[in-house]
Each structure stands twice: as structure tokens, then as C-alpha cells.
Amino acid sequence: MSRFVRAVALGPELRVPMFEHGLCAGFPSPADDFLEDAVDVARLLITNPPATFLWRVDGDSMQDAGIFDRDILVVDRSLEPRDRDVVVAIVNGERSLKRLSLAGRPRLAFANRRLPDFEAPELAEIELWGVVTWNLHRLRAVRP
């Protein structure tokens, strides 16, 4: 008989227990010495809390980067942008999602083969708001 490890959700965070087996009264559990804290998803996703913000994706221009419409992004403002980073970029005051290219002249690009290359408007004012570190993409549809 196979036995499933049960994940127990307590409050908004997810606790993933490392063990599940019955405890015998009177005998110490052999697992006691090996107990560790449950994996904390928030700590995994957020390494610098004061600088980390969540953003919502609107559109499909970043599909090839694995980012889809309505996904939730983890954005860290404290990181130095690197070549190939996905960034929240402010282009002429518009909040947008782009791939940053630092090879040669700094450039912003879509990540979608079906779209023409992104061309920033002439003399556009561009500001990098933050670097995207994780994408939260829901695989199981919300029950209607």
C-alpha cells in the first residue's frame, strides 16, 4: 500500500512536512533527531523582503520566457540588472515587462517569436524598475 505524504496548509503559508508516520507512545520517535523546519516558500522566493514586490502580468509578449498572461512575478529592486534578465521597465511612463539585453547597446526585447522586435520609441525615457526573480504560474485552473 502506498502512502502519501500529506501537505498541511496552515494559514497563508505552505508547510511541507518532512515525515509522516505514526508515533508510538512510550518510545521516542527515531525521526526526532532529524526534524527540521518546514520549507518556507516565502523565504525561498523573497531573499530581500524590503526591496521585493509582486507584480501581475498583462499580455503574452513574454511567453518564450515562460511568462504568461495573469502570472504573478516576484520583482527585486535591489538587484543589479544583468544581461538576459527579465525586468519591469518603465518606458515613457508605461509599466512593461521586457527582456534586458546588455550585449552591446542596452536594449529591451519581447520574448515571443510571433511578435516583431520591440522598438523603443525615439528618445524614449526608460527606467528599470526591478529585476524579475521568479514567476508564479498557476498550473491548475481555479474551479469555476
Asked whether position 49 contacts other proteins by CB under 8 A, the answer is yes
Element (H, E) at 132: strand 126-136
Cα-based distances in Å from 69 to 63, 90, 141: 8, 19, 13
Minimum Å distance from CB 24 to other proteins?
A: 26
Asked whether position 108 contacts other proteins by CB under 8 A, the answer is no
Minimum Å distance from CB 73 to other proteins?
A: 7
| Distance of alpha carbon 18 from alpha carbon 8, whole angstroms | 11
| Distance of alpha carbon 35 from alpha carbon 13, whole angstroms | 19
Minimum Å distance from CB 57 to other proteins?
A: 5
Asked whether position 40 contacts other proteins by CB under 8 A, the answer is yes
Cα-based distances in Å from 51 to 15, 67, 77, 96, 118: 25, 22, 5, 19, 28
Asked whether position 124 contacts other proteins by CB under 8 A, the answer is no
Asked whether position 78 contacts other proteins by CB under 8 A, the answer is yes
Residue number, 27 or 37, with CB nearest to other proteins: 37
Asked whether position 60 contacts other proteins by CB under 8 A, the answer is yes
Minimum Å distance from CB 117 to other proteins?
A: 14
Count CB-CB contacts under 10 A for residue 107.
16
CB 65 within 8 A of CB 59: no
Q: Is 61 a catalytic residue?
A: yes
For binding to other proteins (CB under 8 A), which residues are involved? 10-11, 13, 37-38, 40, 42-43, 48-51, 53-62, 67, 69, 72-73, 77-78, 88, 90, 93-97, 127, 129
